[in-house]
Amino acid sequence: MEVDEAIWYQLIIALLFLKYTTRVIFQTGCLGLFSSDSLEFRQRIFFFVEHVLFTIWGFICVIYYPGNSSWYYTPRLCWVYPPHMPSESFHYYYIAKCGTHLEDVLYRMYENFVRPPALQSIVVSDSSSQTGRLESKPENGNRPNSQPDVMMDIHHYATALLCLLSYASGYYHIGSLLMLIHDASDIPLDLLKIGMTLNWDILTYASYAVTLVAWAYFRLYYLAVLLYSLVFDTTTSFIFPCEGSWENATCARGMYMEMSVYVLLIGSLWVLHLLWFRKMLRKGYKLIVGGESAHN
């Protein structure tokens, strides 16, 4: 049975509020969830649970069910025309992820521009943050270090825009890959933050090593593969479609001008990942030579 397309966008909004409600439950410790633990710990647990659940769901929909025909193994399948939704479960997965990314953007806007300074403490942390920290409100009532994290804001806005644009234009496959590699590489980073919060050195060191490997593969190498495929394998676009895409010899291979928005957004993400990866390497080096604490 066909479902009105407007229903799916309404579902995105509903999931946005669902994630925000869940975030508040974890942060405030209501319902008895980790109520005796620190705010930073509750926040990291929230992100860890979110990333694990969506990584499992994404793996099933994007890799497990499609099998060898998965576009994860053959990125040029992302540009086949006409676009099609692989399965109903994939559709629900995509809608859910769009809702979570949109909530991340709105929450960061709230943190940067709306959240009242009268709060006794503020959290500068998010699902992909490299420098999540808990800061106390000074006596004069001003927010400390109130400058927005521009790099993180760009990352969230670009990711959310890519997911929504891919959905609206029918390129669900490329959007699903972007969402999956982000969630998968965030899991060890969440464990790293948890280990630092609990002062568990073994968990901190182990998760740091896994984070470097995950980021090097997913966020640097694989994202570069997707960018290469976008530039050299694209034979169709949402404005000038070509039936059969790269399987059709009459379709001209090469990037269409209107697809440059994908190149700009994905390229921006890759540059940001490279800068953050370099920062993580430098922190690890300082730790080895003894100039940095394991919990920084």
pLDDT above 50 (res 38): yes
Give the β-pairing of 133-136 and 121-124: antiparallel
What is the number of structural domains in the chain?
Answer: 1
pLDDT at 115 over 90: no
Dist CA 226 CA 116 (whole Å): 41
Residue 16 lies in a domain: no
pLDDT tens digits for range 212-247: 999 999 999 999 999 998 888 776 555 556 655 545
Amino acid occupying residue 274: L
Of how many residues is the chain composed? 296
Q: Averaged over 104-130, what is the pLDDT?
A: 60
Reported as a single tens digit per residue, the pLDDT across 74-83 is 998 888 777 7
pLDDT score recorded for residue 60: 95
pLDDT for the residue numbered 273: 97
**Could you please report the per-residue DSSP string of 183-208?**
HHHHHHHHHHHHHHHHT-HHHHHHHH
Q: What is the pLDDT of residues 75-107, one digit of tens each?
A: 988 887 777 888 889 999 999 999 899 889 988
Whether 263 maps to a domain, the answer reads: yes
Terminal C-alpha separation, the chain: 53
In a domain, 272, yes or no: yes
What are the distances in angstroms from CA 174 to CA 62, 122, 245?
11, 35, 15
- Is residue 21 assigned to a domain? no
Classify residue 265: in a domain, yes or no: yes
Residue 46's nearest CA partner among 115, 103, 112, 118 is 103
pLDDT for 296 equals 56
Average pLDDT over every residue of 105-110: 86
Q: How many CB atoms lie within 10 A of CB 86?
A: 19
Average pLDDT over every residue of 114-123: 49
Distance CA 132, CA 108 (A): 13
Least confident of 150-164, 168-182, 231-245, 268-282: 231-245
DSSP letter for each residue of 99-115: HHHHHHHHHHHIIIIIS
Least confident of 6-15, 133-142, 183-192, 269-278: 133-142
103 inside domain: yes
| pTM listed for this prediction | 0.79
Between residues 157 and 259, the one the model is more confident about = 157
- Token digits for 271? 């540059």
> What pLDDT, on the 0 to 100 scale, is given for residue 114?
74
Task: Classify residue 235: in a domain, yes or no.
Answer: yes
* pLDDT level of residue 254 (50, 70, 90 thresholds): low
Residue 284 has pLDDT above 80, yes or no: yes
Q: Quick check: 33 pLDDT over 70?
A: no
Using the CB atoms, write b or e for 216-241: b if 16+ within 10 Å: eebbeebbeebbebbbebbbbbbeeb
Q: What range does the domain containing 78 cover?
A: 36-115+149-290
Asked whether residue 269 is assigned to any structural domain, the reply reads: yes
